[in-house]
Amino acid sequence: MFQHLQPAPADPILGLMARFREDPRPDRIDLGVGVFRDADGRTPIMRAVRSAEQLRFAEEDSKVYQGMAGDPAFNVAIGELALGPLAATLADRVGVVQTPGGTAALRVAADLIHTARPGARIWLADPSWDNHAAVVRAAGLQVERYPYLDPSRTGLRAEAMLAALRAVPAGDAVLLQASCHNPSGVDIPAAVWAEVAETAVRGGFLPIIDMAYQGLGDGLDEDAAGLRMLAARVPELLLALSCSKNFGLYRERTGALAVLTETGPQTRATLSVLLQGVRNAYSMPPAHGAALVARILTRPALRLDWADELAGMRAHIGHMRDGLAEQLAARGLDLAYLRHQRGMFSFLNVPVAAIARLREEQGIYLLDSGRINLAGLSDVHLDRVASALQPLLAV
């Protein structure tokens, strides 16, 4: 059966992770893979997560199945974190299911769209996260693109984006990142979110919001402002959530998909179809990460500790953005845009061949696209990284 199969190409991000791990140089620097590292270069377990684990081990008395929708307490808590005060207002119209990470939430969303409207197309930003298109196509849907970044890859083409969205046919879906845009760090401002919401209502497309970095941009509420603006106005919406970055639960695969429809009965019917797909795909999500998040978000002391540590992570990313911009400015390069963008990622306009040389000669790893993970930097790296980048950016 398998004799004709050829090796699949490596995923650009996971493939880079493997190459980094195989590199024997002790001073290598990973600025490609999207994980947060603290000032000591570690990705530690967050304090509140550690405390929640201790509570869970003390309190858990069974390993029985939880069901296809996952942990009910997690579903309520993560929905409230995302939607804020709107969670109560929209309670009858919103349903949440736990998924094995944000990627699974996106795949379940795409499968749901394919079931509801097989000919629907999914419109992605140009550029978007590398895996978005693959997930959509794997569900049997066609990918289209709308303009997002300006030619310098440092700012938003707001008018071009809005013009493209106005032309999206009713019944198609548009995927938008809530904040901390991956791969560019260029976010949608409030005024443009308002236009997007109005366009969705008038045009009839379905918004899919991918929120993987809530709290790592400007704050928990600030990073969800665009999502909430849409949810308050549109009749239908899908929301994919990830706890990998803001809870540090990368390997625990903790995510959720929220569904908003026009009525309570419609939401319940939609969830029944969605869960049928879940049953056919993975049956039910893993319990551990969701149990931790539920405890953190529902116990005031844990939630306060988590929010405080998350604020420190956000500040560290901002400090690294400022630090790299300052180091490059001292070398005669103006990359002030790094200060104004948000989240873990930005683009550096470095040729692919030069990025390969950075890896081979200096042990500094970036994606071939030029995406840099600012959250992978620390103060001890800034001078070395800036010195390595200076001749490449000055070309």
DSSP secondary structure string for all residues of 160-220: HHHHHHHTSPTT-EEEEE-SS-TTT--PPPHHHHHHHHHHHHHH-PEEEEEES-TTSSS-H
Rounded Cα distance, 33 and 330, in Å:
27
Active site residue 30: no
> Tokens 């049997």 identify what position?
140
210, 240, 291, 386: the catalytic one is 210
Active site residue 63: no
Active site residue 23: no
Rounded Cα distance, 313 and 54, in Å:
23
Active site residue 245: yes
30, 104, 109, 245: the catalytic one is 245
Q: Could you give the count of Cα atoms lying within 13 Å of 217 in the half-sphere of its Cβ? A: 28
Q: Which two tokens stand for residue 115?
A: 């079931």
52, 77, 129, 325: the catalytic one is 129
> Tokens 């509570």 identify what position?
55
b/e per residue 259-278 (b: at least 16 CB within 10 A): bbbeeeeebeebbeebbebb
What 8-state DSSP symbol labels residue 362? I
The count of residues in the chain is 395
212, 231, 291, 386: the catalytic one is 212
Could you give the residue numbers annotated as active site?
Answer: 129, 210, 212, 245
